């Protein structure tokens, strides 16, 4: 595995290495980066929804791989702590983030698509699956560690889905009534999950500074792992999509992460 510290980025981002003194209180760091496609953006896939007139007549596109054709920004890239390799101590989770939120994240059905397409929750949170459509839907959660469920959600109603354990990988959610519909849920025992928006930007706040952390990169359409990347203009190999980082206190901007189109499956 390629071992990184934020010191390695100093030449292009002005970041310097920081080592926390164990005698002093834990200090905290924010991590940011922008993920772009290093090549031609694929044509968006149009979804065939004619099977259900209640899904409307608006043209809808697949969320399997969302790339802005102008900026090349990639949406729905996940950058998170790899808990198979890094186990944070309770003191290494920011006090504001220690407790599992009492709020219920919402996974909605809008125009026969799940919204959001990618949802991160803490183990112990309850997900509310909502249906804002005229059409009926179901939501099959293919959990491995939590109880697999497949509730039917009538138009205008909602159902709650409980989580109690961390999932080892993002979990797929399907609607069996409308086979083009899918989403992913990430269930973790920690709060440090970053998901890129349509602008390609990722931000993870209040991480422990001065602590070596294994992060992993994931996308639903990746071809195996995303290993060959360019960060800050430098080519790197992140074995199995994993990289070690040691963050300094305060802001840590990793710059631009470039990923080649061949790292994604063609659909």
Give tens-digit pLDDT for 86-136. Answer: 999 999 999 999 999 999 999 999 999 999 999 999 999 999 999 999 999
Domain end point (choices 168, 190, 212): 190
| Cβ–Cβ < 8 Å for 76, 63 | yes
Count of positions (residues) in the chain: 267
Domain end point (choices 144, 169, 190): 190
Q: Is residue 264 over pLDDT 60? A: yes
**What pLDDT was estimated at residue 17?**
42
| Residues of the domain holding 111 | 95-190
Answer whether the bond into residue 254 is a cis peptide, omega within 30°. no
Q: Within this chain, do residues 184 and 223 fall inside the same structural domain, yes or no?
A: no
Q: Is residue 257 over pLDDT 80? A: yes
Q: In the predicted model, what is the mean pLDDT of the chain?
A: 92
pLDDT tens for each residue of 202-237: 999 999 999 999 999 999 999 999 999 999 889 999
Q: Within this chain, do residues 128 and 256 fall inside the same structural domain, yes or no?
A: no
Share of the chain above pLDDT 70, in %: 91
Distance CA 198, CA 97 (A): 26
- The CATH number assigned to the domain holding 142 equals 2.60.40.420
**What pLDDT was estimated at residue 58?**
87
Q: Within this chain, do residues 161 and 112 fall inside the same structural domain, yes or no?
A: yes
């Amino acid at each position: 595995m390629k071992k990184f510290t934020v010191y390695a980025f100093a030449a292009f981002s002005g970041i310097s290495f920081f080592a926390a003194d164990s005698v002093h209180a834990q200090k905290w760091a924010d991590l940011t980066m922008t993920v772009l496609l290093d090549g031609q953006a694929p044509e968006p896939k149009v979804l065939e929804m004619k099977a259900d007139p209640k899904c409307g007549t608006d043209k809808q596109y697949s969320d399997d791989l969302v790339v802005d054709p102008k900026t090349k920004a990639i949406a729905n890239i996940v950058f998170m702590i790899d808990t198979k390799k890094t186990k944070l101590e309770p003191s290494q989770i920011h006090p504001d983030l220690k407790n599992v939120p009492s709020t219920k994240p919402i996974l909605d059905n809008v125009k026969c698509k799940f919204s959001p397409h990618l949802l991160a929750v803490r183990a112990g949170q309850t997900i509310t699956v909502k249906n804002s459509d005229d059409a009926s839907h179901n939501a099959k959660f293919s959990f491995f560690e939590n109880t697999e469920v497949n509730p039917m959600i009538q138009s205008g109603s909602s159902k709650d889905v409980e989580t109690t354990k961390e999932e080892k990988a993002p979990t797929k959610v399907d609607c069996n009534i409308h086979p083009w519909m899918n989403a992913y849920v990430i269930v973790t025992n920690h709060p440090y999950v970053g998901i890129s928006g349509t602008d390609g930007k990722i931000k993870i706040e209040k991480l422990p500074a001065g602590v070596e952390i294994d992060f992993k990169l994931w996308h639903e359409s990746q071809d195996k792992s995303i290993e060959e990347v360019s960060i800050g203009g430098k080519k790197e190999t992140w074995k199995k999509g994993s990289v070690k980082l040691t963050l300094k206190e305060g802001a840590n901007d990793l710059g631009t992460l470039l990923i080649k189109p061949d790292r994604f499956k063609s659909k």
